[in-house]
Amino acid sequence: MALPTIPPYALPRAEELPAPRAAFRLERQRAALLIHDMQNYFLRVFAPEAAPLAPMVGNIARLAAAARAAGVPVFYTAQQGAQDRRDRGLQAELWGPGMSRAPEHQAILAALAPAPSDIVLVKHRYSAFQRSNLEALMRARGRDQLVITGVYAHIGCQLTAAEAFMRDIEPFMAADALGDFSRAAHDGALAYVAAVCGVPLPTARLLECLS
């Protein structure tokens, strides 16, 4: 049930990304940025100074800074600790009780601390859209594209992308601003999204679109 210890692995390069089925083109005035579950509890299983975590954090920080400078909304998801078993639901069957209320579990990584203008959503299920007002907040700001960063690529990030698509929001996976249990799982998430619902792009290309 516990999270695995994640061995270091190299993040995918631009030339390694799968070709997307969708022809979506990221536009600054339509976009929002999601920083998904970058809490200490989920990150403690990575080697802190190695890939994927160290470069992933750097890429997320660059995307967040560019988004804020461009007036692009920045959303975070963060789970709450010590969830009631009834609220945690079937996730408890797969992952156990989850995080505690201790700061070393709940806190968002200090290097990615939300700015006052950012919006932090309470995370309840794999998808960031479940039991949240993410879609309503995006629509109110005229946003129908979502750039997804964070952990874990093949779980919450992938399912957030799939649900975005089903809500007519175009998803973009920031391929080198994600982390996962392994490179194989990471690549699998990108392949799934490219095949059925969205567009994987490297940070460098996303920064061009946001600038």
Positions annotated as catalytic residues are 37
Under 8 Å between Cβ of 26 and 66: no
| Cα distance between residue 123 and residue 132, in whole Å | 7
> What radius of gyration do the chain's Cα atoms show?
16
- Counting runs of H as helices and runs of E as strands, what totals does the chain give? 9, 6
| Percent of the chain that is helix, strand, coil (3-state, to 5) | 40, 20, 40
| Cα distance between residue 25 and residue 147, in whole Å | 11
